[in-house]
Amino acid sequence: MPATYRVAILGLGGISRAHLHGYRAPENAARVELVAGADISPEARERFTQAGEWPAGPEGRSLGTSPEGRTLGAPRTYAQYRELLERERPDIVSICTWPPLHPEMVEAACAAGVKGILCEKPMAVDLAGCDRMIEAAERAGTVLVIGHQRRLQPKFTRARELIEDGAIGEPELFCGIAAGDLLADGTHTVDALRFFAGDAPVEWVTGSVDLRPREVRPEMVGRVGYQAPQPGERYTTRYGHPVESGAFAGLRFTTGLRATLELGACARPGYQRFHLYGTDGMIKVSGDRPAENEPYLHVRRKGAAHWETVEGVEAQNGFAREVTLLFESLERGTPHPLNARSARATHEVLMAVFESARRPGRVDLPLEAKSSPLADLLARTSVDSPLVSLES
């Protein structure tokens, strides 16, 4: 009889629905007892327990409902997450709050004896935060997973297999493209570039950052982490920390492979789109919302005259897979593919892009500074320009 786990969710906003969907997926549901959720917002707590179907999750799927058509939330909610941990003693928690809170929540969960944590990306706002999380988890023997779930999607795993099978010859240059900012969105882009590169260590990073503030229109406030601009503030705030409006970076892996990163105002259109060039071919990985008739994955193989569409790589529920693999890690001790040490390596690249802009110049890894170079960069900048429209 396989083990069942008492599960709680900390932070009951947008992405918590995707976690809920992951726990409620058919392959996981029988092993999960969702005991409680915590949020400082009474509305969020109410929504989490009320009957009725929630709107579709971030990946467009509707949430699971019970046979009676009731929302599959949790029976109890708490305003204080520490009280939840103390009273409920969950085996697994999902941390679905903004990144400045991730370190203290991971530390508290580990201290409360939680066995497995699915913490949302980005891991934290600086490397000091990442290190606190890893230290707490390793000390307590807790499996800590960070939500870079693209690594589990078929088009990503198939692309990596094609590269490893030599379909494009020797990898030369990988390009990652995403609307958005380095921390919230670039963390997925860098993580995927590292994944395609076979997780080879990154040797150095050069980066430039566009610090012009982004326009946050009133209708955007409260959506995907955007906060209302404060009077006199010269930067945009998202998910509880300052963000840049664009970034462009170059990476060299120890294998010699180069990668480029285009984000926000510096990026070509698309979200999490990748062009992977080798000496003898190329792979294109579509963005989250492919254009009409655009394949999810296509390859121009070594020696072939035409592009080939790779079939059978439609998006799957990455959150469900993340949960299933957590069960395996807890029961067999197998490393989780989204483990925290890997996420720290991704975070180090993000910090190195800011550090390169701050110096300015090439940044060799490992990065010694543990605080975010963005604060220093913002303090020294004299950007005084019109707001950058999100469409630009």
Of residues 5, 19, 21, 39, which one binds ligand NAD by CB under 6 A? 39
> What CA–CA distance (Å, rounded) separates 328 from 27?
13
99 near ligand NAD, rule: CB under 6 A? yes
Site string for ligand NAD, 121-150 (x = CB under 6 A): x-------------------------x-x-
Of residues 34, 38, 143, 211, which one binds ligand NAD by CB under 6 A? 38
> What CA–CA distance (Å, rounded) separates 59 from 357?
33
Q: Is 196 helix (H, G, I), strand (E, B) or coil?
A: helix
First to last CA, the chain: 55
Task: Determine the residue type at 9.
Answer: I
CB nearer ligand NAD, residue 267 or residue 338: 338
User: Which DSSP category does 185 fall into?
Assistant: I
Q: Which stretch binds ligand NAD (CB under 6 A): 4-12, 206-214, 300-308, 357-365?
A: 4-12
CB nearer ligand NAD, residue 40 or residue 200: 40
CB nearer ligand NAD, residue 40 or residue 56: 40
Of residues 54, 98, 235, 327, which one binds ligand NAD by CB under 6 A? 98
62 near ligand NAD, rule: CB under 6 A? no
Q: Which of residues 183-242 bind ligand NAD (CB under 6 A)?
A: 184, 224-225, 239
103 near ligand NAD, rule: CB under 6 A? no
How many other C-beta atoms can be found within 10 angstroms of the C-beta atom of residue 2? 8
Most distant pair of Cα atoms in the chain: their distance? 63
Binding residues with ligand NAD: total (CB under 6 A) = 26
56 near ligand NAD, rule: CB under 6 A? no
11 near ligand NAD, rule: CB under 6 A? yes
Query: Which residues are CB-contacts of 322 (< 8 A; sequence separation ≥ 6)?
Result: 22, 118, 145, 147, 149, 152, 338
Q: Which stretch binds ligand NAD (CB under 6 A): 39-47, 283-291, 293-301, 348-356?
A: 39-47
How far apart, in Å, are the Cα atoms of 78 and each of 6, 75, 87, 300? 16, 11, 10, 53
Q: Which stretch binds ligand NAD (CB under 6 A): 37-45, 62-70, 286-294, 333-341?
A: 37-45
SS (H, E, C) 206-234: EEEEECCCECCCHHHCCCCCECCCCCCCC
> What CA–CA distance (Å, rounded) separates 70 from 53?
7
Residue numbers of the site for ligand NAD (CB under 6 A)?
Answer: 10-15, 38-41, 44, 58, 81, 96-99, 101, 120-121, 147, 149, 184, 224-225, 239
